[in-house]
Structure 1
Amino acid sequence: MAPPSATLIHSLGHNTLGKIDIAVQSVLLAIAFVAISLRLWSRRLQCISLKLNDLLIIVATFFMIGRYVVEIIMVVLCGMGLHSTEVTHVGGAEVFIRFNELTYAGDLLWITVIALIQLSILNYYVHSFGQRAITLLAYVIMGLCLALWVAAFFATAFFCTPLKRIWLVDTPGHCGDRKMLHTGVHTSEAILSFFVVVIPIPLIWGTPLSKTRKTVLICIQVLGLAIISIIAVRTKLEFDLNPKDPTYGSVRKSILSCIVPLLGIIVACLPTLEPAIQKIFRISALPSPVHTSIYDPNFARYLRTTVFAGRRLEEPEMPLVTVTQPFMAKMGHLAPGHIQVTSHWEIHSSRGSARFDRSPVRQA
């Protein structure tokens, strides 16, 4: 008789749910890799060093890779997606010990990845938004996310006494209420994720954005709310899980479990991808009298110094026209190649020291 692992690998041919699980995770993980790559490229194009939010999302992606490996092992070697009767018949009872160990590791990784994504998004808000109230709110929610991660991680890690009773159910000891633990953790995650998503909404509706960019930002918020809905559905599946058939019932929850963090990584990267997208499609950023992205640090400074500070709304300095000299003129006079006139303009003579500033009369 073939070894149990090889036999379960051969069973993958008719394990439809298991193959769907691996396929969904593979596609979303590939998209997440693309989003992370574009994010890092955008930072390089902007000549901006990596910030804490970038490092957090990178670490979250590495942990997600670990969870992806765990899921593949559960499908290939533990028969997740097959009914427990078939798994027992083919691989024996010891397969469920490995299955419980991997489920335990997967739950800890899921909790950690979700916390890292939330902290990355909130830290991005702190660096990008200038409004004091939103910054303070982001810090408060960051504290709550850290507290929830610590509580959920240790409650899950030490759910049973002794610890090995989590995967060896016949070990003497006791465990807590698993459904109550998961319900509390998932409900708290959903509530905090909701606040993470809705923080930028007042700025989206209260700032003069173009219809295209406003539509993109609204789509990001809708995608974030969809993630929260998936968490709620995942909690419902936790209640419907049949303890006598864990390998078959867990696969649906596993699919939703991978969708939530992977979509979270993608959503966290979307606001930072504009420079890379412009570079790929050769789109030039058009000058505008107002900053058109609430995620632009310059726009945040503009809000701090005007709108939120209660000052008179002034026209920001911006290029109005660029006068380019002909090539022969450059060669003949060795003058600079172009003159850029802005709303705060000055003219410096290239042949003398004369300087003309905008006078108060012209300013009026």
Structure 2
Amino acid sequence: MSGALLHSLSHNWLGKADIAVQSALLAGGVIAVALRLWSRRLLGVSLQGNDWLILAALTVMLGRYVVELLLVLLCGLGLHTENVIAIGGSDAVVRFKKITFAGDLLWIIAVGLVQLSILHFYLRQFQHRIIVWCTYITMTLCACLCVGSLFATAFICTPSKKIWLSELDGHCSNPKTLRLATTISEGILESFILCLPLPTLIHLRLSGTKKAATTLIYLLGLIIITITLIRIKADSYLNEDDITYTSARKSLLSCLVPLLGIIVACLPIMPPSIQTISGRHVFSSPTDDAAAYGYRHSGYYKTTVLSGAQMEEPEIPLVSVRHPPMAKKLSEWCQGQIKITSDWEIHSTRNSARMDKDSIRRA
């Protein structure tokens, strides 16, 4: 019977569109994560917590993709329920609800992991106290929403089997109310996540290329929020009597949120690998602020700054020199040939250890 549903794929245009879109976005997510990890390797930086979180999110979405394939190929997602029953029998609808239940749980986990990865990246990038505290609060809210949504979805019916076996004795809460509350909460948190770094970004002086990249990231973020809001309307069209057909559009919209989120989370970390592939330093400019540099090149040195109980390591380029008026005049007399020599020591206030560095001369 499942084989008959598989053969009906040629007439299932909604199912084919669902698989095509998810395949393309999943491939984009895999490429984005690969470039992110390659960038870390190029910089000689070990993987951070946000990298592991985005890897976990991609792994969960791979499982969610398998679930979607099963729904389309074996359960007739995209076909009218009466056709599914005629081809695959009533067991196909039961199987559809059971697999959908597993897919909903995976989707909630994936969205939560993507949100936590982006917020953890904020903690490593931005050091303003207000932004840090707001980020911690948002992380707590995202974690609570993820755990709460998991439990509410898993135990919406008592017993849980009643989710796919409606004839069993028991009780179920209103699934539409749960989905509406969860979707609205996600939209609010996603908007807050998108706005968190704005106070810092608007004060940075970035090159045209970096401004375009930042605009792209925010554009994708706005698309994700818009899709989240559209899902509210898609939920209102769900019809239990024709569940395999009416849930196809909602399923297609739902997959866009975590997959686009994975790509957005990787974009700020991808420049080193992109520059290696293109052979051009398209993202670097002497007009960029030092705080905008999130990666390390061979011409950079690291300065350790102790700020309270936190240790941060900003990257400061020796090659980017802003001339005061007198220095600019001197550079003109020297025909632009400036030699920078630095002798430095690092003193630890904790154990009074000292590291001396020989003079570094760079032309």
* Structure 1 gap segments, 5+ residues each: 307-315, 322-338, 347-354, 358-364
Q: What's the CA shift for 1:345?
A: 4.2
Q: Work out the CA distance in 2 between the residues paired with 1:127 and 1:320.
A: 23
Residue 87 and residue 138 in structure 1: after superposition, are their counterparts in 2 closer, same or farther (change >3 A)?
same
Equivalence for 1:294: 292
The residue matched to 2:82 in structure 1 has which SS? Answer: helix
Pairing partner for 2:198 from 193, 198, 201: 201
| 1:99 and 2:112 correspond | no
Question: Any conservation in 1 of the 2:50–2:118 contact (CA below 8 Å)?
Answer: yes
Q: What's the CA shift for 1:132?
A: 1.4
Question: Any conservation in 2 of the 1:203–1:294 contact (CA below 8 Å)?
Answer: no
Question: Any conservation in 2 of the 1:9–1:77 contact (CA below 8 Å)?
Answer: yes
Q: Work out the CA distance in 2 between the residues paired with 1:320 and 1:125.
A: 25
The C-alpha deviation readout for 1:121-169, integer Å capped at 9, x for no partner, is 0000001112111111111100001111111100000000011001101
The C-alpha deviation readout for 1:261-309, integer Å capped at 9, x for no partner, is 100000000000010011001113756265366362689x99x899xxx
| 1:144 and 2:134 correspond | no
Residue 287 and residue 318 in structure 1: after superposition, are their counterparts in 2 closer, same or farther (change >3 A)?
farther
The residue matched to 1:319 in structure 2 has which SS? Answer: coil
* Structure 2 gap segments, 5+ residues each: 308-315, 322-336, 344-357
Q: What's the CA shift for 1:215?
A: 2.0
Q: Could you state the TM-score of these two structures normalised by the residue count of structure 2?
A: 0.82
Equivalence for 1:132: 129
Residue 243 and residue 305 in structure 1: after superposition, are their counterparts in 2 closer, same or farther (change >3 A)?
same
Q: What's the CA shift for 1:211?
A: 2.2
Equivalence for 2:72: 75
Equivalence for 2:224: 227
Equivalence for 2:266: 269
Q: Work out the CA distance in 1 between the residues paired with 2:109 and 2:38.
A: 26
Q: What's the CA shift for 1:200?
A: 1.5
Q: Indicate the structure (1 or 2) with the bigger Cα radius of gyration.
A: 1
The C-alpha deviation readout for 1:86-140, integer Å capped at 9, x for no partner, is 0011111111111001111111111110000000000000011121111111111
- Name the amino acid aligned to 2:33: I
Q: Work out the CA distance in 1 between the residues paired with 2:84 and 2:74.
A: 10
Q: Could you state the TM-score of these two structures normalised by the residue count of structure 1?
A: 0.82
Question: Any conservation in 2 of the 1:108–1:153 contact (CA below 8 Å)?
Answer: yes
Question: Any conservation in 2 of the 1:114–1:261 contact (CA below 8 Å)?
Answer: yes
Equivalence for 2:276: 279
The residue matched to 1:206 in structure 2 has which SS? Answer: coil
Equivalence for 2:339: 341
Q: Work out the CA distance in 1 between the residues paired with 2:16 and 2:104.
A: 20
Pairing of 1:134-213 with structure 2 (within 5 A): 134-213=131-210
- Name the amino acid aligned to 1:288: P
Q: Work out the CA distance in 2 between the residues paired with 1:67 and 1:88.
A: 24
Question: Any conservation in 1 of the 2:227–2:257 contact (CA below 8 Å)?
Answer: yes
Residue 356 and residue 17 in structure 1: after superposition, are their counterparts in 2 closer, same or farther (change >3 A)?
closer
Question: Any conservation in 1 of the 2:4–2:87 contact (CA below 8 Å)?
Answer: yes
Residue 15 and residue 246 in structure 1: after superposition, are their counterparts in 2 closer, same or farther (change >3 A)?
same
Q: What's the CA shift for 1:246?
A: 0.4
Residue 287 and residue 95 in structure 1: after superposition, are their counterparts in 2 closer, same or farther (change >3 A)?
closer
Equivalence for 2:257: 260
- Name the amino acid aligned to 2:96: F
Residue 255 and residue 158 in structure 1: after superposition, are their counterparts in 2 closer, same or farther (change >3 A)?
same
Q: RMSD value over aligned CA atoms?
A: 2.6
Question: Any conservation in 2 of the 1:129–1:295 contact (CA below 8 Å)?
Answer: no
Q: Work out the CA distance in 1 between the residues paired with 2:254 and 2:287.
A: 44
Q: Work out the CA distance in 2 between the residues paired with 1:100 and 1:262.
A: 23
The residue matched to 1:245 in structure 2 has which SS? Answer: helix
Equivalence for 1:332: none
Sequence identity percentage? 46
Q: What's the CA shift for 1:225?
A: 1.3
Question: Any conservation in 2 of the 1:271–1:295 contact (CA below 8 Å)?
Answer: no
Equivalence for 2:247: 250
